[in-house]
Amino acid sequence: MKNKDKHKKISPWSMMKKIFPQILSVSPGLFIFNSFVFVLDGASFAATILSMQILFDRVTDLAQNKGTIKEAVLALMLLFGIKVFQQIVSGVSNFIGETYDSRSKGKLSHIINLKMSKLDPVSFENAETLDDINKSYNGVKFAINFINTIVDTMTLYLPHFLFMGIYLFNLKPILAVSLVFVFLPVLITQIVRVKIFSRLEDFSAPLRRKGKYYEECMTGRKYVKETRILGANPYFMNLLRQTIEQMNNLKWKADIKANLVELGTKLISLFGYLCILWMLFDALMKQEITLGAFAAVFASISSMFDMMEEIVCERLGYYAKNFGKIQNYLRFLELPERDENKKYEEDISYGDITLENVSFSYPNGENNALDGINLTIKDGETIAIVGENGSGKSTLIRLLTGLYLPDSGNVLHNNVDTRAMTTEKLFKDISGIFQNYQKYQLSLKDNITISETGNKFKGKERIKHVTSQAGINLKDNIFNKGFKTMLSREFDGVDLSGGQWQRVAIARGLFRVHKFIILDEPTAAIDPVEETKVYKRFSDIVKNKTAVIVTHRLGSVKFANRIVVMKNGKIAGIGNHNELLASCSIYKDMWESQSQYYTQQASTK
Ligand code: ADP
Ligand code: MG
């Protein structure tokens, strides 16, 4: 991801355009119903004011012997009725609002998960991506809140203010105008606040990153040994303290600024408020408005101020403060996907795999992990890859399968570039047993069959077959519930030994229906005697399919058609065992050191 894109600002309008449909789609019916309830809630405010005016007017009439008791009591009951209605409506809308929020949260998290599954696998090598995912989850709450604020404004606050404006205008036009004067300063304060705090964020974000880095230098796994031994802790502590001071300083200044602006505008608001009261009083004295109208406005005007404060200061203020977090959510959804704009939708039949001058480096790696690799694996061929640790074997496999794409050169599956294919098509016929296999906290059966996604489980025979191929003995005491045995201590199950776990991983790799299988050091955790047996079975398993086996055990892979020797990201030799013994000194050395080890082992027995 380019840094430039990362700091691109997203406007509130386009935020709404993106998030609103996501939230609406949780349940459009309920959403509309809730908005309608909000409108009713707003309307009941208006009705309260009107009925208050009626009540006061009736009571005044009664006092002046112009009206009847019955009229006054009716007016009182009307007001009561409206109050009860208001309570019910706001109860209902709170209830729906809460349920809807938690459902929205689920929905937005699901959207993130879905996005995650579409990201290019290689981006997970990048610490920044993991950071982005975290930030994105944190943004969900604020994204929902943002939409809520907009919806509440449109359905509740805005109609309310509109009604009050019209009501006051009817009483006396100047009253409505002064309302604007009360409202504007509050709004301006918030706009200024947003500016101040987003500037603060711009300046303090780099400082925060620096501080984090200094912290890492003192406590991070990578740094701690050196920092401690060299006695560099005070140095970093000092830097950290300076950074924190700088940040606090910036924040202090921003707070002062924002509060001064707020104080100023609050005074203006207060002045406007007093003006309205004065004008009302004046109008009443001059008998331009009735006592009822005076009382109604008097009673409701402070609640209107509270409302205005609530929306502008609390809700918009909250939104302004967390604007960046909502952006994080949206930005994550805009990260490039691996399968965007892919041409190859049709099925490809499996064939040769060709690497043409392939080079690759990890996002955070300095050197090429693979460097100018040329290799063709024929359809149905079994290839063994050998070489010392870090020579690029696992990386070669990641590129062969198309999991990662080359920086330069091409990887072709049956003459189609892996860049051009969707990952779904690419991985359709591939299975694998990986060096860092996973220990899923699931039952034995689920551990083996996770690749089967259909509703009906059709692998009953297959699972038995692969289990025995992998050398899992179901009669072993540990599998006390057979295939249903839970492989997790945390979930009330059992924990397996490393060797047993590896067999489960082997069974899982074999269970997936495949035409091409990769085995990346599949027996590292299995003891040598058993290992030989497992390799014997592999030689049967890989017959008639394309297979690539990474291994340290040169003796076990004589069944491979060809052996590829890796060294420093390059191919140092290709051929069968005897050819390599004759032509490749690296292979010869490896072979000799291993055969020594085997003979030693034999003699100690
Ligand atoms: P092998 O499987 O032969 O032991 P790898 O393919 O795992 O070797 O590693 C090849 C090179 O790439 C090594 O130098 C290793 O340090 C580097 N490398 C492997 N994985 C990563 C990674 N996730 N990020 C950065 N560098 C990596
Ligand atoms: Mg490896």
Measured from the CB, is residue 394 less than 6 Å from ligand 1? Answer: yes
Determine if ligand 1 sits within 6 Å of the CB of residue 42: no
At residue 2 the predicted structure's pLDDT band, cuts being 50, 70 and 90, is very low
| 367 domain residue, yes or no | no
* Proximal ligand: closest to the CA of 389: 1
Task: Give the nearest ligand 1 atom to 435 CA.
Answer: 2
> Mean pLDDT of all residues in the chain?
87
Among 557, 521, 535, residue whose Cα is nearest residue 388? 521
Print the domain residue range for 44. 3-333
The pLDDT score that the predictor gives to residue 250 is 94
* HSE of 296, CA atoms in CB hemisphere, 13 A: 25
Q: How does residue 102 score in pLDDT terms, banded at 50, 70 and 90?
A: very high
Q: What is the average per-residue pLDDT within 19-47? A: 92
392 CB under 6 A from ligand 1?
yes
Q: What pLDDT score does 1 carry?
A: 39
Give 59's Cβ-side CA count (13 Å radius).
Answer: 13
Question: Ligand 2 mean position to 546 CA, how many Å?
Answer: 20
Do 53 and 289 contact (CB within 8 A), yes or no? no
Q: Are strands 562-567 and 382-387 parallel, antiparallel or unpaired?
A: parallel
pLDDT beyond 60 at 7: no
Phi, psi of 412 (to 5 degrees): -115, 130
* Percent of the chain's residues with pLDDT above 70: 95
- Alpha helical stretches, state H, 66-172: 69-118, 127-152, 158-171
Average pLDDT over residues 57-83: 91
Mutation choice for ligand 1 from 393, 395, 435, 552, CB with most ligand atoms inside 8 A: 395
Torsion of CA 304, 305, 311, 316, to 10 degrees: 160
* Residues measured by CB to lie within 5 Å of ligand 2, the ion: 393-394, 435
Residue 167 included in any domain? yes
Whether the pLDDT of residue 432 is over 70: the answer is: yes
Q: Please give the Cα distance from 489 to 495 (Å, whole number).
A: 6
pLDDT, position 8: 67
What does pTM read for this prediction? 0.74
Higher pLDDT, 82 or 306: 82
Residues 314 and 448 grouped into a single domain: no
Q: What is the pLDDT of residue 244?
A: 94
What would the pLDDT profile of 521-571 be if each residue is shown by its tens digit? 888 878 877 888 888 888 888 888 899 999 888 887 788 999 999 999 999
- CA 392 – ligand 1 centroid, Å: 6
Cα 291 to ligand 2 centre (Å): 87
Average pLDDT over residues 341-360: 82
Instruction: Give residue 443's pLDDT band: very low, low, confident or very high (50, 70, 90).
Output: very high
Give the model's pLDDT for residue 603. Answer: 47
Q: Show which of 513, 530, 557 is a domain's final residue.
A: 513
Counting ligands in written order, which one lies closest to the CA of residue 524?
2
Q: What mean pLDDT comes out for the span 28-38? A: 93
Tell me which range, 130-139, 334-343, 382-391, is most confidently predicted by mean pLDDT. 382-391
Distance 298 CA to ligand 2 centre (A): 78
State residue 601's pLDDT score: 52
Query: Are 329 and 92 in contact, with CB atoms under 8 Å apart?
Result: no
Is 4's pLDDT higher than 70? no
**Residue at a domain's end among 333, 349, 383:** 333
What are the φ and ψ backbone dihedral angles of 68, each rounded to 5 degrees? Answer: -110, 160
Is 18 a residue whose pLDDT tops 70?
A: yes
> Quick one: pLDDT band at residue 605, thresholds 50, 70, 90?
very low
Identify the pLDDT of residue 344.
Answer: 61
CA of 77 to the centre of ligand 2 (A): 81
Q: Is 446 in the pocket of ligand 1 (CB under 6 A)?
A: no
| 249 and 104 share one domain | yes
- The string of DSSP codes covering 481-522 is TGGG-B--TTTT-----HHHHHHHHHHHHHHS--SEEEEEST
CA of 589 to the centre of ligand 2 (A): 20
The whole-number pLDDT of residue 459 equals 75
The CA 386 to ligand 2 mean position distance, Å, reads 10
Of residues 89 and 340, which shows the higher confidence score? 89
Query: Is the residue at 564 inside a domain?
Result: no
Report percent pLDDT > 90 for the chain: 41
Which of 134, 163, 175, 160 shows the shortest CA–CA distance to 282?
175
Judgement on whether residues 203 and 318 belong to the same structural domain of the protein:
yes
Is residue 326 domain-resident? yes
Asked if residue 183 and residue 54 are part of one domain, the reply reads yes
329 and 448 inside one domain:
no
pLDDT tens for 175-225 read: 887 777 777 887 788 788 878 887 887 788 888 888 989 998 888 877 888
Cβ–ligand 1 contact at 544 (below 6 Å): no
Q: Calculate mean pLDDT across residues 231-240.
A: 90
Please give the distance, rounded to the nearest whole angstrom, from the Cα atom of residue 435 to the centre of ligand 2.
6
Kindly report the number of other CB atoms within 10 A of residue 419's CB atom. Answer: 15
How far apart, in Å, are the Cα atoms of 370 and each of 319, 376, 389, 399?
Answer: 47, 16, 14, 9
Q: Is 389 in the pocket of ligand 1 (CB under 6 A)?
A: yes
Q: Show which of 333, 351, 379 is a domain's final residue.
A: 333
Whole-number Å distance between alpha carbons of 220 and 98: 41
Q: How far apart are CA 143 and CA 323, in angstroms?
A: 9
Give the domain CATH number at 27. 1.20.1560.10
CA–centroid distance for 219 within its chain: 27
- Do 178 and 327 have their domain in common? yes
Q: Which ligand is nearest to the CA of 568?
A: 1
202 contacts: CB under 8 Å, gap ≥ 6:
none
Identify the band that residue 126 occupies on the pLDDT scale cut at 50, 70 and 90.
Answer: confident
Which of 62-76, 213-227, 254-268 shows the lowest mean pLDDT across its residues? 213-227
Total count of domains within the chain: 2
What is the number of the ligand closest to the CA of 395? Answer: 1
Mean pLDDT of 572-591: 93
**Residue 563: its H or E element:** strand 562-567
Whether residue 369 lies inside any domain: the answer is no
Q: What is the pLDDT of residue 26?
A: 94
Q: Is 387 near ligand 1, meaning CB less than 6 Å away?
A: yes
Residue 212 lies in a domain: yes
